[in-house]
Amino acid sequence: MKIIQAQIRGLVKKYGKVVAINGLDLDINKGEMLSIVGPSGCGKSTLLSCIAGLEKPNDGEIAIDDELVFSTDRNCFKSPDKRQIGFVFQNYALWPHKSVFENVAYPLRIRKKCKYLIKNEVERALSIVRLLGKERQYPYELSGGQQQRVALARALIMKPKLLLLDEPLSNLDAKLREDMQYEIKRIQKDMEITIIHVTHDQYEAMGISDRIAVMNRGKLIQVGTPKELYEHPKTEFVAKFIGKTNIIHSHVTEENGCSKLALFEHVFIEDRYTTANIGEKVILSIRPEDISLRKEKGMGKGKIRRMFYRGNVIEYTICIENKELKVQTSPKEEYKIGEEVWIHIHQIKGVKN
């Protein structure tokens, strides 16, 4: 049975007339890595700030370990230092004039802890992030990944109930970003800590998350495991945001007593994918890898307009009846731009608007 570590109910945050968070409900399970994703301005960083106590919401409730930290009905608002939360900012927020040791020790120093405790706890935190031996160095002497781990160590030193990460990898190059994804996941599993991770990078979220919460315009659209969101998106927005897809606005027609989906003007497929009635409009999501290309006759005929070689896959754009379809194949299946091919569709998902 999963234990809920944090609970958010009816959360609203406004900036003047702008509604950044609009009546949001969310449960965060103990020990999980929950990533919050969405386009810029969707409210994901504002949500993190509200959980941390850096922003005061206009309405709703936030509870951590069944203890209210914010409630409009009960007139409750606990300051950040009373919430036992660790926070890693996008720019790391390290003191440039302080050593690694002093940066990590800072939360303990302002609480006037004894020198012996500070020394032991700094060593423990640096050991977790694998930076022992770097205590006397300064931020400018470290790589981007090492600076990020110093910020992590500082956030972990107070043994927080929740660790909040606000786009912590966005300033790193691609290779370092991938390495740090493994590092954050390792720390989460080793410490069994609950992490709420905000990112605009869907692939980053899919790689390290136990669950992903998709936001848009201040609302929570869908929450689920990476596999659930990718294979069973509930809406067109989620289908397009999590991975690549082809969206087709179609309708259900009838042929010889059988329900069929009109993919294109002259391309129809038996409707085994929706519960729509004859004549109803539907929105279909077709992943590029669920389409194969062949030279022999198939569902529909098109012409290759564009090709991108990605190493492990080739991405094609196929033009069918003046509409474009993205297709992803093995690099062993190579076609030329301008070549005519037949498409075969293996999987379709019906989604809502």
pLDDT band at 263 (very low <50, low <70, confident <90, very high): confident
Say if residues 104 and 154 touch (Cβ distance below 8 Å). yes
Say if residues 122 and 104 touch (Cβ distance below 8 Å). yes
Q: How far is Cα 183 from Cα 161, in angstroms, rounded to an integer?
A: 19
pLDDT at 86: 93
- Quote the distance between the C-alpha of residue 246 and its chain's center: 20
Q: How far is Cα 76 from Cα 54, in angstroms, rounded to an integer?
A: 14
Q: How far is Cα 228 from Cα 310, in angstroms, rounded to an integer?
A: 26
pLDDT at 252: 87
pLDDT at 272: 79
Considering only CA atoms, which of 10, 16, 18 is closest in space to residue 41? 18
List Cα–Cα distances, 236 to 189, 203, 247, 275, in angstroms. Answer: 33, 18, 7, 17
State the number of CA atoms in the 13 A half-sphere of 21 facing the CB. 27
Q: How far is Cα 217 from Cα 297, in angstroms, rounded to an integer?
A: 44
pLDDT at 89: 87
pLDDT at 226: 97
Tens digit of each residue's pLDDT (9 = 90 or more) over 284-301: 999 999 999 998 888 889
CATH class of 4-241: alpha beta
pTM of the model: 0.91
Where are the chain's structural domains?
4-241, 246-351
Would residue 345 be called left, alpha or beta, if left means φ above 0 and alpha means ψ between -120 and 50 degrees?
beta
Q: Could you confirm whether domain 246-351 is CATH 3.40.50.200?
A: no
Residue with tokens 């950044």, as numbered in its chain: 20
Considering only CA atoms, which of 196, 201, 137 is closest in space to residue 172? 201
Which residues make Cβ contacts (< 8 Å) with residue 50, sequence separation at least 6? 11, 13, 21, 56, 57, 62, 70
